[in-house]
A and B are shown apart, each in its own frame.
Chain A
Amino acid sequence: MKILVPVKRVVDYNIKVLVKSDGTGVETAGLKMSMNPFDEIAVEEAVRLREKGAATEVIAVSIGVQQAQDTLRTAMAMGADRSILVLSEESPEPLAVAKVLKALVEREKPDLVFLGKQAIDDDMNATGQMLAGLLGWGQGTFASKVELADSRAEVTREVDGGNETVSLALPAIVTADLRLNEPRYASLPNIMKAKKKPMETLQAADLGVDMTRRLTTLSVAEPPARKAGEKVGSVTELVEKLRNEAKVI
């Protein structure tokens, strides 16, 4: 069984981005970029399935600028067997990404596509569901546990108020939530080995996908700042402030 794992290169999760002063976007130049944390979890799960013998090949895919090859190398250092880079503008919309992935799924014929539940830059939480829709496959979103048996995937999902388990016919789409697993660190020997693993480069246009954006960003602004707070010296003072100043208790 083959598993396809789409990964995205994003601004590192530890960095607090700043809005550009002209309001056209956020400043990303010179910032540390990393693999989207949810995608690391998806890669980890796919690699574990291969290590257990449940999968035979793990293919990492990234769509974006040339530098996304670093993200694919990371995925291969974690254990992916090979990778595909689809060149396009930076951070294309989920609809376009889902269409590119559909074209790759039709070519590679994986049994599972493992994605992160959302990218921490655009916070869309949409690509996995959209790919499932385009393919007519079942979707197990926000997965905290995945078990494969009898050509089906049993996926435990994090939902409002608790957990839900669904059973999906394969092939299927699964999107990883935080608690699915703890991703491994790539060791130095594996980072060296990953440099020799195959990486194919394609153009989005070669796959026949129209990458035109449907959403135009008119402006990007800082969220309203909170007014400066104050330090209180004691519980008595805090209770007094909450009662008489803020009037919330």
Chain B
Amino acid sequence: MTVLVLIETEDGQVRQASRSAIAAAGKLGEVHALVTGTEASAQAAADAAAKVPGVTKVRKVASDVLAHDLAEPLADVVVALAGDYDHIVAASTASGKNVLPRVAALLDVQPIPDVVEIKDADTFVRPIYAGNALATVKSSDTKKVLTIRPTNFDPAAAEGGSATIEAVVPNVTDTVSRFVSSETPQSDRPELESARVIVSGGRGLGSCENFHKILDPLADKLGAALGASRVAVDSGFAPNDCQVGQTGKVVAPELYIAVGISGAIQHLAGMKDSKVIVAINKDPDAPILQVADYALVGDLFEIVPELTNAI
């Protein structure tokens, strides 16, 4: 069996989430990587993807229409290539979730999102109800279209492979959508989904100023990424893409420090697979304490600076 994996790159490397998708796809069969973009960006992506161990062939589709990963042309490209594959896989990133269901509809199959375990070629495990249950589902579709949850599959290495690169002529010309602009706040911190340590803040921080005054020094000291609860994001303490939870990012770092976060179901869905969870909260009954390995009950405005100094 052969599997097609949609690849996303960042700074000339295959994104860690896509390398997890490659690792997951390797459990299903031979892995071909699909890279798209303008001529220059697709070539750079192809060179990066060819180096990922486990990939045997890279299929490069270059067109200016594919410059921004818009779902409409990208789905058409995947569908045009789908005849050669039994499985079509992407990581459950914003882009993977945007494109793959559209692909599935065009192929008349029911997609299987957020796979956390592959049992066999037709059988997959995925979380439902905000991670409060794990469903094992068997697909009767002839082609399987799945997104995999990156934190559940150890990523393939970025270097060491040597796949062949094949250029495919795209059949996309015009599209009903066009890219207008993008806004990507710059950050020196590690990417949330691949960070080893995450310091995350919630309502308890009280303001954007406090959020950064209290959490930044601790995150700096630990080399950690900054996360946030939905309330913290909605209140403007932190940007949207910091949100950890069912509707934000799902993370599983080695150490997750939840500061002033009560631990609503929605938030727990995004972080309860972390190796070690520390909760700092003034409420001894906060639900976060039930999943925390170490809980410190008290005033975060005293505890966090003290912790920063002690590390």
Is A220 touching B109 in the complex (CB atoms < 8 A)?
no
Kindly list chain B residues whose C-beta atoms are within 8 Å of the C-beta of A94: 101, 110-111
Given known A-B contacts A123-B129, A216-B137, A221-B136, A139 and B104 have beta carbons under 8 A apart: no
| Per-position binary interface string of chain A over residues 170-202, scored 1 when its CB falls under 8 Å from any chain B CB and 0 otherwise | 001000011100000000000000000000000
Is A229 touching B293 in the complex (CB atoms < 8 A)?
yes
- In the complex formed, the residue of B with least CB distance to A134 is B105
| Per-position binary interface string of chain B over residues 229-245, scored 1 when its CB falls under 8 Å from any chain A CB and 0 otherwise | 01001100001110000
- Asked whether any CB of chain A lies closer than 8 Å to the CB of B185, the reply is yes
Report A101-160 residues with CB < 8 Å from chain B CB.
117-118, 120-134, 136-142, 144, 154, 157-160
Pick from A95, A122, A144, A230: contact of B293, CB below 8 A.
A230
Q: How large is the interface on A (under 10, 10 to 19, 20 to 34, 35 or more residues)?
A: 35 or more
Is A95 touching B109 in the complex (CB atoms < 8 A)?
yes
Give the Cβ gap from B223 to chain A, nearest Cβ, in Å. 10
Is B98 touching A141 in the complex (CB atoms < 8 A)?
yes
Kindly list chain A residues whose C-beta atoms are within 8 Å of the C-beta of B303: 235
Q: Which secondary structure characterizes the binding site on chain B? A: mixed
Given known A-B contacts A214-B109, A218-B138, A222-B133, A246 and B183 have beta carbons under 8 A apart: no
Is A169 touching B182 in the complex (CB atoms < 8 A)?
no
- Asked whether any CB of chain A lies closer than 8 Å to the CB of B180, the reply is yes
Given known A-B contacts A232-B294, A242-B255, A167 and B101 have beta carbons under 8 A apart: no
Report B251-302 residues with CB < 8 Å from chain A CB.
254-255, 265-266, 272, 275-278, 289-297
Among the stretches B38-46, B89-97, B208-216, the one at the interface with A is: B89-97
- In the complex formed, the residue of A with least CB distance to B111 is A126
A117–B193 Cα distance when bound, in Å, is 21
Given known A-B contacts A95-B109, A232-B295, A221 and B97 have beta carbons under 8 A apart: no
Is A142 touching B296 in the complex (CB atoms < 8 A)?
no
Is A125 touching B129 in the complex (CB atoms < 8 A)?
no
Is B139 touching A164 in the complex (CB atoms < 8 A)?
no
Give the Cβ gap from A245 to chain B, nearest Cβ, in Å. 9
Is B130 touching A167 in the complex (CB atoms < 8 A)?
no
Is B127 touching A223 in the complex (CB atoms < 8 A)?
yes
Among the stretches A10-18, A45-53, A57-65, A74-82, the one at the interface with B is: A10-18
Give the Cβ gap from A147 to chain B, nearest Cβ, in Å. 11
Kindly list chain B residues whose C-beta atoms are within 8 Å of the C-beta of A11: 129
- Asked whether any CB of chain A lies closer than 8 Å to the CB of B173, the reply is no
Is B296 touching A232 in the complex (CB atoms < 8 A)?
yes
Is A218 touching B109 in the complex (CB atoms < 8 A)?
no
Kindly list chain A residues whose C-beta atoms are within 8 Å of the C-beta of B133: 17, 19, 26, 220-223
Is B241 touching A249 in the complex (CB atoms < 8 A)?
no
A17–B132 Cα distance when bound, in Å, is 7
Give the Cβ gap from A48 to chain B, nearest Cβ, in Å. 18
Kindly list chain A residues whose C-beta atoms are within 8 Å of the C-beta of B99: 129
Is A26 touching B294 in the complex (CB atoms < 8 A)?
no
- Asked whether any CB of chain B lies closer than 8 Å to the CB of A70, the reply is no
A19–B131 Cα distance when bound, in Å, is 11
A150–B202 Cα distance when bound, in Å, is 41
Is A218 touching B179 in the complex (CB atoms < 8 A)?
no
- In the complex formed, the residue of A with least CB distance to B138 is A216
Kindly list chain A residues whose C-beta atoms are within 8 Å of the C-beta of B265: 13-14, 16
| Per-position binary interface string of chain B over residues 177-200, scored 1 when its CB falls under 8 Å from any chain A CB and 0 otherwise | 111111111000000010001000
Is A166 touching B179 in the complex (CB atoms < 8 A)?
yes
Given known A-B contacts A95-B110, A129-B101, A220 and B295 have beta carbons under 8 A apart: no
A53–B130 Cα distance when bound, in Å, is 37
Kindly list chain B residues whose C-beta atoms are within 8 Å of the C-beta of A137: 176
Is B177 touching A138 in the complex (CB atoms < 8 A)?
yes
Pick from A120, A131, A216: contact of B130, CB below 8 A.
A120
Kindly list chain B residues whose C-beta atoms are within 8 Å of the C-beta of A248: 197, 254-255, 275-276
A-B contact pairs, 27 of them (CB 8 A): A13-B266, A26-B132, A95-B104, A123-B113, A123-B129, A124-B113, A126-B111, A129-B71, A129-B97, A130-B102, A132-B105, A136-B176, A144-B240, A154-B180, A161-B185, A162-B182, A162-B184, A163-B182, A163-B240, A166-B177, A179-B240, A222-B133, A229-B291, A235-B303, A241-B294, A248-B275, A249-B255
The 4 A-B residue pairs with the shortest CB-CB distance, nearest first, are A133-B105, A130-B105, A126-B101, A129-B101
- A-side residues, CB < 8 A to B, are 11, 13-14, 16-17, 19, 26, 38, 93-95, 98, 117-118, 120-134, 136-142, 144, 154, 157-169, 172, 177-179, 213-223, 226-227, 229-232, 234-236, 238-239, 241-242, 246, 248-249
- B-side residues, CB < 8 A to A, are 68, 70-72, 75, 93-95, 97-106, 108-114, 123, 126-141, 175-185, 193, 197, 222, 230, 233-234, 239-241, 246-247, 249, 254-255, 265-266, 272, 275-278, 289-297, 303, 306-307, 310-311
